[in-house]
Amino acid sequence: MPAYQVTARNFSTASENRMHSNAVAQSHGFKGALVPGVAVYGHLVQPLVEKFGSQWLGQSQTALRLLKPAYDGDELNIVLSEETQGQYRVTCHNQDELLLAEIMAGPMPPMPADIGLGGPAKATPKVEINWDNVVPAEVFVEKTWSLSEAENNRYCAEISDHDPVYDEHIHPHYLLSLANYCLMEEYQMPAWIHASSITNHRAALKVGDMITSKTVVKEKFERKGHQFITLHITYWRGEALTTDILHTAIFRIAE
């Protein structure tokens, strides 16, 4: 039996990313507007937090793969299984038993020696993303984020997750959504698709925390006609690293 069942909702119809609108998504061959990948991720982490509690929010790694789109109204079945000792797989299937997404979750890895971002931030005007202006090793201007109770509650409500742990702690859906904003604040992104993310939770973030995001372009690549960007994003509470994310998106969809 599924560990968790929930109805997918597209709460981003007004987003700059028009893949969350029916017309643009259908023009790219989808049957309708895409539910945000960060929301699917929020659903996937629910059984992990239910099993391990707030400890998981500060000492874990999740590797997310978004394989097929979720659409508004899809009935999602979220299943947690233990693959090996300490390693877990969480899958998301729709009502047609199609695998939409999965995460592999396990212990937090050691801190890399090169976690800091070197070089000055390049303050560039926000321009529409294309292959030539995605520059590996380019550093974005740092951003400051206030993790408010109201925003945390909104992100929880969007995915119908009302676990009391989020009265104090920040929901992973909120944290991964900030990674999207790090991307969209640098580029105009008219139609793009979240593909995958590897998130290391190194210290639990709490309601009321102030964090700084630091972002560098890790790489760009092409696959099956799609053009991808991967960002390395870190969140800092003062001088302490709390979260680091490898965040990959399709910024040009194959025609």
Average pLDDT, the chain: 90
Which of the four pLDDT bands, split at 50, 70 and 90, describes residue 1?
very low
Tell me the C-alpha distance between 13 and 166, whole Å: 25
Which of the four pLDDT bands, split at 50, 70 and 90, describes residue 21?
confident
**Residue 251 pLDDT greater than 70, yes or no:** yes
pTM comes to 0.93
DSSP state of 119: S
Q: pLDDT tens digits, residue range 157-215?
A: 999 999 999 999 999 999 999 999 999 989 998 888 999 999 999 999 999 999 999 99
Q: Where is 242: in which H helix or E strand? A: strand 240-252
**Residue 114 pLDDT greater than 70, yes or no:** no
Average pLDDT rounded to a whole number, residues 2-12 = 83
Query: What is the domain partition of the chain in residue ranges?
Result: 4-252
CA distance to 1, 69, 150, 204, 236, per residue, from 43 (Å): 16, 14, 20, 18, 25
Tell me the C-alpha distance between 97 and 157, whole Å: 25
Q: In the numeric block, which tokens belong to residue 197? A: 């993310």
CATH superfamily of this structure's domain 4-252: Hotdog Thioesterase (3.10.129.10)
Q: pLDDT tens digits, residue range 216-240?
A: 999 999 999 999 999 999 999 999 9
